[in-house]
Amino acid sequence: MIKSGFYYKIIFLLMIICLPFIISSPKIVPVSAAENEENIPITILNYHKIDNMNISLSVLPEDFDRQMAYLKENGYHTINTDQLYNYMVNGEALPENPILITFDDGYEDNYQHAYPILKKYGFTGTIFVITDFVNNNQPNYLTWDQIKEMKSQGMDFQSHTASHKSMTELSMDQLKEELTKSKQALDKELNQDTKFMAYPTGTYNLYIAKIVNEAGYKGAFTIKYGNVDKASNMYALERVPIFHTENTFLSFYERMHYIPVFERLGWYKS
Ligand SMILES: [Zn+2]
């Protein structure tokens, strides 16, 4: 969503003024200084397109590059969904300053623009693909060849259902079909046990989460704003959406650093 530069300046000023309160608050645990190894808050970034379209879902390649450079310079280490699962369920260790970079929908520009930039910084990411779109070789979506090439280089692929229908509008049978068909396609094509899915448009409820579990998934990602930690619901994992704005880097920076404040204010700004 495009906001005015003036609006951003006000927000930024407010953030600076509030900084002493933010720092002194016991609830705040900066992601980059997670001292408590027992329950590290993990930021899960959520992107869609990385290309030059002037829409909020399209982050420009040069902006994406700048964001990845920032993460590299500040000592972040990318993790995949298996590492997240093993940390949350089995208590396995994570690298210092862990971050999970996710992309929804499986656009071809993820291969053309995001993948080379991630590689340049030694990073990996997780792409949630709409499996029917891959099968039908829909234009602007990834092909299995591109997916397999990226997977061989450490990229991670999970489900965004078979056809991206809003799950709250589906019958139980349709829900099962969307989830099972997608998992089977990914399992077969990539020779993996697909553990995660991302809810199309982020819509879900407890009933849908139960069907996701029954379809064999171990967890699901929402677009609910926030960090994930061991207390998070595995079927309602929070993410931090990153959009193209008038000042994309500033909004990225704010979202990276003020998550707990935004969470507390119930201000999601998406
Ligand atoms: Zn989507």
CB atoms within 10 A of CB 205: 11
Q: Ligand 1 mean position to 200 CA, how many Å?
A: 5
CB-CB contact of 143 with 134 (8 Å): yes
**Residue 1 in domain:** no
Q: Encoding tokens for residue 62?
A: 């040069």
* 270 residues of the chain, pLDDT tens digit each: 444 566 667 666 666 665 555 444 444 444 444 444 578 899 999 999 999 998 889 999 999 999 999 999 999 999 999 999 999 999 999 999 999 999 999 999 999 999 999 999 999 999 999 999 997 778 899 999 999 999 999 999 999 999 999 999 999 999 999 999 999 999 999 999 999 999 999 899 999 999 999 999 999 999 998 999 999 999 999 999 998 988 889 989 988 887 766 666 665 544
**Residue 3 in domain:** no
CB-CB contact of 176 with 136 (8 Å): no
Q: Ligand 1 mean position to 37 CA, how many Å?
A: 33
**Residue 25 in domain:** no
Q: 77-78 and 98-105 as β-strands: parallel, antiparallel, unpaired?
A: parallel
**Residue 33 in domain:** no
**Largest pairwise CA distance in the chain:** 54
Q: Ligand 1 mean position to 9 CA, how many Å?
A: 31
**Residue 115 in domain:** yes
**Residue 203 in domain:** yes
- The end-to-end CA distance of the chain, in Å, is 7
User: pTM score > 0.75 for this model?
Assistant: yes
Alpha carbon dihedral 243, 56, 162, 226, in 10-degree steps, equals: 30
Q: Ligand 1 mean position to 136 CA, how many Å?
A: 17
Q: Ligand 1 mean position to 194 CA, how many Å?
A: 18
Q: Ligand 1 mean position to 132 CA, how many Å?
A: 13
Domain housing 60 = 38-264
Torsions phi, psi for 101 (to 5 deg):
-105, 115
- Supply the CATH number for residue 192's domain: 3.20.20.370
Count of domains observed in the chain: 1
**Residue 125 in domain:** yes
Q: Ligand 1 mean position to 33 CA, how many Å?
A: 32
**Residue 27 in domain:** no
Q: Ligand 1 mean position to 104 CA, how many Å?
A: 5
